[in-house]
Structure 1
Amino acid sequence: MPKPILQIALDVPLARLFDYLSAGQQVQVGQRVLVPFGRRNQIGIVMDEADSSEFAIEKLKPITQAFSDEVPLDAEVLSLIRFSADYYHYPFGQALLAALPARLRQVAPAVARKQYCYQITDAGRQVDLESLPKRQRVLRLVLQALQAEGEQTEAVLDALSGSARKAAKELVNLGYATAEQVLAVKRVPAILQTPQPALNAEQAAAVTSITQEIQVFKAWLLHGITGSGKTEVYIRLMQHVLQQGADGAAQQSAQVLVLVPEINLTPQLEARFRTRLPQYNLVSLHSSLSESERLHNWQLAQSGAAQIIIGTRLSIFTPIPNLKLILIDEEHDSSYKQQDSMRYHARDVALVRAKRLNIPVVMGSATPALESWYNAMGSNGQATSAASSQPNKYGLLTLKQRAVSAAQLPKIDCIDTTKVNLQHGLTPQLVAALRLRLERKEQSLLFINRRGYSPVLLCTACHWIAPCTRCSSRLVVHLGQKKLRCHHCGHEQRIPHQCPSCGDADLHPTGHGTQRLEQTLATLLPTARIARVDRDSISRKHALVEILDRVHNQEIDILVGTQMLAKGHDFPNLTLVGVIDTDSALHSPDFRASERLFAQLMQVAGRAGRADKAGQVIIQTAFPEHALFNALRSQDYASYANDLLQEREQVQFPPYVFTALLRAEAHDFPLVQQFLQLAFSSARALSQQVVTYDPVRPQMERLKGMERGYILMHAQQRPALQKLLTQLVHQLRAAPIAAKVRWAVDVNPLEF
């Protein structure tokens, strides 16, 4: 007998469930319901049933509606989100609702796109096609297709004839078939399956090692140089898992989740998988989809109808009932870390999910995160053996040669910008190399991680620099739009005609951004076909895909772009990469800056020479003998990573300690100070095992009009840190000052 009280999770900043009366409605755990909350109705998820409540029964309100036609969230996903909310110290209800597609968070019912699937009956199998009148050609075609395959969806039958659906319904009336309504699977144009390339010895060894332990949990780090064929390893593993699932006794076919760091990598991987694995249904999940597209793809994954799911970080919380393998591409990428709301790291959550399901997780990168490298190598700098008894350590698989046998790693040259005369920000060596590629009809990529025309508008008289009024940052010049724009808060204003400080009209854009570099190249190389790729130029849907298609079709000579071009892309005719102005990251106060810069430069350098043509990388820097550039020239990630780990161990930085930040912001900084001082005193009193540092201000003291501050905590043991955070968060939520500031806990922060 159903219990009368439902405990429901709501999207509110309170760490508790809310009691409602079931009002006689049949509901299940994980089901979506509509409930009254305050003066409005709100979507909630049923988490439990109870016979009693801490509140008087007459004070409880009944639920308004139960969405009984939807499949409830399964216990595995609910448990994963509960764990994540506890670990990252975030209200469970908000974490749960944020993991759902936007349509499922709205009051209006979420309508799924449906279609009919027709199954042949025993009577239908016995029908002789020749006994049917020849004038009923479509009816014969549909019956023939059902007899051959056993079942067909309307989408498949549509390819036979425009009246195939009518014929299928007639077969149902005759008793030759049955019809079942199912989720509509998106039909893609017929794709010519590309031949399967031969694996080299390293790729084959990696595939063999993983498939031998494919039935159990194990974390694998696939460390392969750029162009070494990591994607081919992914495809072989997917083939193995999906074929096993299709041949097994399970009612549902196996499913694979592929995580990618950024949206712009999704279309490329999707196209690659479709050409190699066309027999499997594939869906993608990312923020560029419309609300209805995302809901539909999410439901296909939840139903098991999609065997391959490609998605960005939020996809890790997607219900996937028969998940057998998780692949994480570019595992080092900081995009896997959520920087607001629940500050989870998708890679870490993926490891937890894989362990709970007892399935393998494969993390691929040419420049692994130091935490991953540490887990694979151990504190002694040696790879963890396959027989290691430490379940948190990773198996290490290395690909040291490029997949295309004729492809070699590019030659890397660092040009000292203090010893040459720059031409509009470009060294003569780089300009000459660009001209040479134009003559050879080869392609080039210029990388500058700064969009806009110029990063600074400077008054030459009084040295005034255009500031953002809402952030501790400078406004960037966007000359085409004749505007100054803040890339942190989005504030815009027109470019002034004279200096607001001294009245001088001599205002100069200083420094280079992608727009200015594009303009400079058009002047220096007037015959070159140039395309710019940054957030401004690809704001239109499918714009990036169109540009990349033009690159592959040899319609572009020079690409100018930011970090979205630095990884994952394969351009066979691209032989030159130029890197403009990276020196600011060499002296950053962030201890992770050198790790990120090395990874970024290794990734962007890897775009050159991926086919049979030799590649060259030219880096413009004022510090060519810096240790980072010396390591980059030798392209030895392992040695550089081991050196960084030694430095981290000496100063006790992650991964040798576990860290957390307590961030706070408010319009008035005294409120932030008062809150952080309370938190600091409480943390010191609660634990002697955790080192708590005095409150400080971040490098960007003001962001979007909010004054900011934080407290750093670190501990030698993870449980000690988690225990302190649990107690501290509980105390702070009860403090009156907490309601006057916006605050959050950031466990394992990537940015300080």
Structure 2
Amino acid sequence: MIPTPPPMGILQVALDVPIDSLFDYLDGGFDVAVGQRVVVPFGRRRQIGIVVGKSAVSEVPSAKLKAIETAFVDEPPLDPDTFALLRFCADYYQYPLGQALLASLPGRLRQTEPAVSRKQYAFRLSAVGLAADIEQLPRRKLIQRKLYAALLEHGVLHESALPEISASWRGAMQGLQESGWVEADEVLAGLSASVSAAVPPPPLNEDQTAALQRMQASEGFKAWLLHGITGSGKTEVYMQWLQQMLADNDGQALVLVPEINLTPQLEARFRSRLPHLPMVALHSNLGEAERLQNWRLAQSGIARIVVGTRLSVFTPLPRLRLVIVDEEHDGSYKQQDSMRYHARDVAMVRAQRAKVPIVLGSATPSLETWHNAQTGKYGLLTLQNRAVAKSQLPRIGCIDTNRVELQDGLSPALIEALRQRLERKEQSLLFINRRGYSPVLLCNACHWIASCTRCSSRLVVHLRQSRLRCHHCGHEQKIVRQCPSCGNADLHPTGHGTQRLEETLARLFPMARIQRVDRDSTRRKEALADILQAVHADEIDILVGTQMLAKGHDFPNLTLVGVVDTDSALFSPDFRAAERLFAQLMQVSGRAGRADKPGEVLIQTTFPEHNLFNALRKHDYVAYADSQLQERQLAQFPPYAFLALLRAEANQYSLVQDFLNDALVLARQLSEHVLTYDPVRPQMEKLKGMERAYLLMQGESRLQIQQLLRQLVPQLRAHPLASKLRWTVDVDPLEF
């Protein structure tokens, strides 16, 4: 008699599809845990999914249920805490759970093939090696003797640490293994261990000591704002807090940074100070294999410190003890497509759920964070002095461009200041937030301007490549030689970009070593690191850069910052534009005079008496933030109100208009507490060939917004036009 196979269970599987529902599958005889990856048939394709639940019954008839094809049962499942965090985010940000879950995983785990990690080795002395003596090794075997001494001192050495001893360590190690002195264990790759001694910590000043003591005195969940002027030593406070919190050889820490170019720099500082704590980085510049390995090291608990950009906030950390969000005000923490989460806010939720402390660090906190600190929701820690004793805040001055004649965009005062720095062999930074040669190509005869055919924007002149490029959609074309409107051949690049500024400086200072730093000049993977190294080696005299250089970098010999063009942000329709400009200028100003040489900042503007510049000159963030909060309160903008945007785009504006008008009627019917405004078009009315508009919803509380969205979004998904256009919900939007 043939034995009857046990009945199959039903699995609820989340898939990476834009449908906010789970899919039922038979378990196929696999012993699958909740949180594990499975491969399932979906239509004509095979897809990776994550099991989110089990059930004995299904609404789908059993005859129509398909079985999973594969289950990766040898992999650890997604832990319940990470699972719950992603479920919360999918609900709060109105995004399908399956897409949220799969997007949080490394790319290799989103494929249907097994995700295999490469291996490295850790070496240790065997019983024979421990009983031996270094004098038994011939003196000519210098590398073997060094390896043996290092193994005696450290016990275990990771493969990644051995190049510090010798570049030809492999042959010497093989000889020690063949003699039976050394044994090797396979380990996960990714950890960059070091055999170097830890760099001793510098003494803390009074402000740093007080901040650290207050953080240490708190238990469980506590949110702190570490508000310190640029150069005040916030990173040193982070490191000493990390060292003390993880001193008992237990626990993990999550350190978030806003941008990729800051990750290696911060990681290097942490490694030099905390070499005994295994550390990994997670960001989009890593290869897929390396990202998977680092993610698994974090998931296993082996990696004690994870330094990463916004997606790292979802990394499984089974022994999480503390969270740090550096430069918390930075807009890079906000995801601008897919699930539009804000990593700072998600980190706050994660810390609260894990009952661990979190510190938000910034010289210019976001107004929402500053408001929370002022109302007592967050603890406020203030660093009022620079960490280097002789370092002083730079002197900030404004150059009134109404009263001077500019020479290719540069005022005489700024040119003279640059000349003085060159004579003193000091470094300068010119900041301009426009890459390319010139913002526009203009016809003086008929005033035609080269515009993008796919966006409501102008094409930027890139003279060296003889191209016109759109920095929004990527469209590019050759530079036209005559006006397509009137035939005039006298076309002029108008305005200044980084390339044109670099050319101007080369003409004014032919002996100066000038380096442009923007997205075009740093396309190569290691390009930015090489440039920064050259700056520290005093091989560059003048830096010309965009916001890539505005924050986080410490150049001891840089004493002058010149800001070339800022005024457009002063009159933006976006109510956050002034806040962003102040933060950006404060950050870039902080690059000057960070060591014992005095720094100076010169800002070219046509509005030198504007309140923003008055606050900058005094380095008075508090006064400026308080004045901005008063304006926000009068206008009922965040943090005194809560917003959600319904964005829509299509090839035809009529589709967008009809969809948003229907959404407007629905929203007003569903909630009398949330104020829903008429649909409007953004500044960039057309982007990548798509006509755009949005609907703004404003409530007095998050709960009001969420209650409306939970009713509105399902009805919009069922709307007849929903499949004919793209639409997204942006909760707590940063850009309009």
Question: TM-score if structure 2 supplies the norm length?
Answer: 0.94
The answer on 1:220 being equivalent to 2:204 is no
Structure 2 counterpart of 1:564, which letter? Answer: M
Corresponding position of 1:321: 318
Corresponding position of 1:34: 39
The answer on 1:734 being equivalent to 2:734 is no
Corresponding position of 2:77: 72
Corresponding position of 2:3: none
| CA shift for structure 1 position 185 | 4.0
Aligned counterpart for 1:90 among listed residues 91, 95, 100: 95
Corresponding position of 2:602: 618
Corresponding position of 1:466: 450
Corresponding position of 1:390: none
Corresponding position of 1:388: none
Q: SS of 1:344's equivalent?
A: coil
Structure 1 residues 581 and 736, CA gap change in structure 2 (3 angstroms): same
Corresponding position of 2:23: 18
Structure 1 residues 191 and 481, CA gap change in structure 2 (3 angstroms): farther
| CA shift for structure 1 position 129 | 3.4
The answer on 1:282 being equivalent to 2:279 is yes
| CA shift for structure 1 position 162 | 3.0
Structure 2 distance, partners of 1:643, 1:2, is 68
Let me know the Cα RMSD of the aligned residues. Answer: 2.4
The answer on 1:264 being equivalent to 2:261 is yes
Structure 1 distance, partners of 2:440, 2:46, is 48
Corresponding position of 1:505: 489
| CA shift for structure 1 position 70 | 2.0
Task: Please say if residues 129 and 140 of structure 1, whose CA atoms lie closer than 8 Å, have aligned partners that are also in contact.
Answer: no
Structure 2 distance, partners of 1:566, 1:67, is 45
Task: Please say if residues 255 and 307 of structure 2, whose CA atoms lie closer than 8 Å, have aligned partners that are also in contact.
Answer: yes
Corresponding position of 2:589: 605
Report 1:639-658 matches (<5 A): 639-658=623-642
| CA shift for structure 1 position 12 | 0.1
Q: SS of 1:340's equivalent?
A: coil
Corresponding position of 1:549: 533
Structure 2 distance, partners of 1:142, 1:623, is 65
The answer on 1:662 being equivalent to 2:649 is no
The answer on 1:685 being equivalent to 2:669 is yes
| CA shift for structure 1 position 322 | 1.1
Structure 2 distance, partners of 1:22, 1:269, is 45
Unaligned runs of 5+ in 1: 247-252, 379-383, 385-392
Corresponding position of 1:61: 66
Structure 2 counterpart of 1:24, which letter? Answer: G
| CA shift for structure 1 position 170 | 8.2
| CA shift for structure 1 position 297 | 1.2
Task: Please say if residues 227 and 610 of structure 1, whose CA atoms lie closer than 8 Å, have aligned partners that are also in contact.
Answer: yes
Q: SS of 1:614's equivalent?
A: coil
For structure 1, which segment, 181-190 or 272-281, has the greater mean C-alpha deviation from structure 2 after superposition? 181-190
The answer on 1:721 being equivalent to 2:705 is yes
| CA shift for structure 1 position 164 | 3.7
Structure 2 distance, partners of 1:118, 1:549, is 33
Structure 1 distance, partners of 2:601, 2:343, is 32
Cα deviations by residue, 1:622-648 (Å, 9 ceiling, x for unpaired): 010111111111110001100000010
Structure 1 counterpart of 2:113, which letter? Answer: A
Task: Please say if residues 440 and 449 of structure 2, whose CA atoms lie closer than 8 Å, have aligned partners that are also in contact.
Answer: yes
Unaligned runs of 5+ in 2: 1-5
Aligned counterpart for 2:171 among listed residues 162, 168, 172: 162
Task: Please say if residues 561 and 592 of structure 2, whose CA atoms lie closer than 8 Å, have aligned partners that are also in contact.
Answer: yes
Task: Please say if residues 161 and 193 of structure 2, whose CA atoms lie closer than 8 Å, have aligned partners that are also in contact.
Answer: no
Structure 1 residues 476 and 139, CA gap change in structure 2 (3 angstroms): closer
The answer on 1:194 being equivalent to 2:191 is no
Task: Please say if residues 137 and 144 of structure 2, whose CA atoms lie closer than 8 Å, have aligned partners that are also in contact.
Answer: no
| CA shift for structure 1 position 117 | 5.1
Structure 1 residues 504 and 399, CA gap change in structure 2 (3 angstroms): same
Report 1:116-135 matches (<5 A): 116=121, 124=127, 128-129=131-132
Q: SS of 2:371's equivalent?
A: helix
Structure 1 residues 2 and 98, CA gap change in structure 2 (3 angstroms): farther
Aligned counterpart for 2:415 among listed residues 406, 410, 431: 431
Report 1:486-501 matches (<5 A): 486-501=470-485
Structure 2 distance, partners of 1:369, 1:490, is 31
Structure 2 counterpart of 1:659, which letter? Answer: L
Structure 1 residues 576 and 134, CA gap change in structure 2 (3 angstroms): closer
Structure 1 residues 516 and 64, CA gap change in structure 2 (3 angstroms): same
Corresponding position of 1:397: 381
Cα deviations by residue, 1:225-259 (Å, 9 ceiling, x for unpaired): 00000010011111111213x1xxxxxx3211110
The answer on 1:528 being equivalent to 2:501 is no
Structure 2 counterpart of 1:61, which letter? Answer: K
For structure 1, which segment, 108-117 or 359-368, has the greater mean C-alpha deviation from structure 2 after superposition? 108-117
Structure 1 residues 131 and 650, CA gap change in structure 2 (3 angstroms): closer
Structure 1 residues 135 and 52, CA gap change in structure 2 (3 angstroms): farther
Q: SS of 2:397's equivalent?
A: strand
Structure 1 residues 150 and 570, CA gap change in structure 2 (3 angstroms): closer
Aligned counterpart for 1:332 among listed residues 329, 332, 355: 329
Report 1:374-385 matches (<5 A): 374-378=371-375, 384=376
Structure 2 distance, partners of 1:201, 1:169, is 56
Q: SS of 1:42's equivalent?
A: strand
Aligned counterpart for 1:229 among listed residues 229, 233, 238: 233
Q: SS of 2:11's equivalent?
A: strand
Corresponding position of 1:411: 395
| CA shift for structure 1 position 165 | 5.8
Structure 2 counterpart of 1:221, which letter? Answer: L
Query: How many pairs are equivalent?
Result: 725
